[in-house]
Amino acid sequence: MRAVNQALGRAAWLRSVQGAAAPTDEDAQAFVAERLAAPDLPPEQRQRLEHRQAQLGRFATLPPQQQDQLLHRRFERMDANRDGVVDAGELQAFGQAQRERAQAKRDAGGAGGNNDDFWPSPN
């Protein structure tokens, strides 16, 4: 799961760099599908990957402008020092914060899946 979050975070980062080739949404979906095919996948990890797969599918149905808005919002949250570049330390800190939010949500009795505020809240 960490690798999926990192791949999506890197995609947002790479898309923000002019002229950089970024992993596509299809790449992320293929990565998740490959992980889900593992026969010895623990149930909790399978559940998280299935949730991620649903999120990726939902993202793929959005118009390109809305996808860009979501990715830019995520990039802005990752770029802690606001220098326009997400360095390795910022990416690591962002991932750690994501894991901590997911754990807090699980500890509170929630699923822990949609922990990154990537999707706008309904309120």
Is 1 buried (19+), middle (13-18) or exposed (0-12) by CB count in 10 A? middle
Question: Can you give the pLDDT at residue 122?
Answer: 38
Percentage helix, strand, coil for the chain under 3-state DSSP, each rounded to 5 = 65, 0, 35
Q: Locate 36 and state its tokens.
A: 């889900």
Question: Can you give the pLDDT at residue 105?
Answer: 85
Question: Can you give the pLDDT at residue 1?
Answer: 41
Q: Locate 63 and state its tokens.
A: 């118009």
Question: Can you give the pLDDT at residue 65?
Answer: 92
What is the domain partition of the chain in residue ranges?
Answer: 2-107
Residue 53 makes CB contacts below 8 A (sequence gap 6+) with: 29, 32, 33, 36
Per-residue pLDDT tens, the chain, 123 aa: give them.
455 455 555 555 555 554 455 567 788 888 888 989 998 999 989 998 898 889 888 888 999 899 889 889 989 999 999 999 888 999 999 989 988 988 888 888 765 544 455 554 433
Phi, psi of 3, rounded to the nearest 5 degrees: -65, -35
